[in-house]
Structure 1
Amino acid sequence: MNYVIWSFLVILLKVTGGASSIRHQRSSAGSVMLADGSASPYSAVTTAVPQFSESIRNVTVPLGREAVLSCVINNLAEYKVGWLRADDQTILSLHRRVVTHNPRVSVTHDESRTWNLHIRQVKESDQGCYMCQINTAIMKKQLGCIQVQVPPDIVDDRSTSDVTVNEGDNVTLTCTATGKPAPRIVWRREDGQKIVVYRPTATASAPGSNHNNLHGTKSSSSSGGVSNATTTSTTSDVVAVTATGTHHPHQYHQGIASTTTRERSKEVEAYHGETLRLYRVTRQMMAAYMCIASNDVPPAVSKRVPLNVNFPPLVTSSMNVVGALLGTDVRLTCNVESHPPSINYWMKGRQQDQHNTILPSAKYSIDGERGGSTSYKTSMSLTIHNFQSQDKSAYICVAANSLGTAEASIQIYETSSSSMSVPPSEQQRERKQEQRDETANQIRRGGVSSGFSLMKFQSFIHYWIIIFPFILYPMVFS
């Protein structure tokens, strides 16, 4: 149908153009002055034909804006101008009249020299080349193209949504986006923390290297990790040996080299690329990851991808032994790490290996506070009101989830105001030290006394050794 209409319009353009050309030539014909001053009625001046004065400039417009192609023509006279779509020869306008039924298309002109094609609210399907034609005897035409820029759009069914893995597993996050030009993908953590990535680098082992490097097999997981491979521990490297199969020392021949893939961990603020691979995931990597797609055509778009890491509970406490005064309130605190979130509760003492669960009451107050929606940390506290002697016991904070159970024990003892901050073990050590000091003092005092008696005895012996001859001499010689 378009072809029939176009043929009809072309014939119409040629007929009207030819008639106007003849009239123009006749009106242009005139007498030419000869050398003798007479006029020759049979001479005519050649009429100028239309010419394109410049090329149509290609335009690039964002989706939804207006695109304008300008066709500048000199000496149009009574010829006609038409606009067509180049790829399918669809007629859009004939001179000042819009032929297409597309309400977004219009034409304007400036003093019959500049003819503009307007396409409002540009769609992606409007991208392409358009033809400006002049209905001369030999059709003249030139092309101008429209490039439509499309803002990015994330394809949900080809991108990762919420994902849950166990601690130590590998995981791959994917984000696919469309747009013109092709969007750039950037990954960031929503909490602003850095992303731990690994950058593998391959190195070849020289012939005659350690045969043990060949004792590994390569098996790729769905996330692109390498498992069941021989590893070498270094400070910051994770080494995975890649091979085609299991090798034995006697199968290693001279001239055959093995390939070692070395993966170096690195922390980055942002990771560029559609696919984000995380290896040996830890609980610290649990966060919401933001996939941001941009191509300089506003607006940029983003998708939130929560990463959940499951692991059994871990319970810790900064206090193991607590002293309390009678009649005071005692507050005990434990810190719990777990995902999925654990069931937390307190127990008092042991009776034949049976715990006594503590419930909130006038005697006990129980509180818990989780560190944010994506945090795996919880603080749980127990307050014992009006502490009495019968409250002396071990208090145990317990956490349990689907992966396991953990607990921590805090011992409370009664103390006086003077030794409130000193636990029993410290008091015992002080008493033992005092006893050792007293024993040492007694030994020192006893040593001084014995030394003094010995000196007196030695002096007594010396005295009698000197005096005895004088006493004995008169007795012998009398």
Structure 2
Amino acid sequence: MTRRKSEARANIASRLSCHCELVTDKNIKGHLTTSSRCITESNHKHEGEEAAISRLMCAGVDAGACVDGRMCLIDMEYPELSTAPYFMAVGNRNVNTTVGQTAYLHCRVAQIGDIAQVSWIRKRDLHVISSGSVVFASDQRFQVLHPEKSENWTLQIKYAQERDSGVYECQINTEPKIFLSYFLTVAESRALILGPGVVKAGSAINLTCSVSQAGMEGLVYWYRDQEILDYEGPVSILTQETPEGTTSRLTIRDAAISDSGNYTCWPTSAQPSSVLINVVLEGEQPAAMQTGVGAHTCPASHLLWVLLLSLALTLLPGPR
């Protein structure tokens, strides 16, 4: 706390619209007494630091502060206004994403100045990912997003992998050092396919594939055995994105015996799901129905493509 006397009175009073008013109260014996107090004009327009000082200087001041019944000359203690860097509110620091998506860890720092630096640290091995806008990780999936003159220092991790899960720290190199911890969880996303295992010939095959992954990137493909299905003839596919995830609906009108087979819903950024559909004639006994998720039901060409993609992502170097 710092005491500022005549200098404070001159500087603050010249900017502060504080005036005196008379107050009439009853004392203990019931007699009326008159005193004075400081008030702030209702139309004063202070902002930022001055507003804080204004409220502090005009509140609860002794009657003796009133001079000539006009101006409040205030002599009191108030705290120094800090110019040190500090973290601003960023919301949830528990970040969840799925394999292949982009993860964002948002860090906001005010009053960073020209000397202090913001750094990102991976806690498990104390690896310094970045200092300022300079990224030290050899893995190009890691970037720091900092628009010029912005308070945002966002760590971006593209094509997130399960190995990226863990604790990350946004640090400011003050003395002592201050930091915020972020908890990143990267999980594998899987599709879920729902629909009847047995369909009567002449009726419609209706299958629904759901991926509980907000902001899912890529497309959703449908296969029957080794054949990719498109929007031709009796086949219709409707894919919709919602805040909760992605839903794709496959409809085949007037199903025939030849439409029997293994149907696979394959999102490009999630594990596939399959179901075996039997189209039967009226009164015919259906074959055993199978449902499940597994690569053994997927088309060979698509499986090869996914294996190559997974291998490429695995070979991407982590930050060193």
On whether the aligned pair clears a TM of 0.5, the verdict is: no
TM-score, length-scaled by structure 2 = 0.43
Higher fraction of helix = 1
Q: Which has the higher contact order (CA 8 A, sep 6+)?
A: 2
Larger radius of gyration: 1
TM-score, length-scaled by structure 1 = 0.31
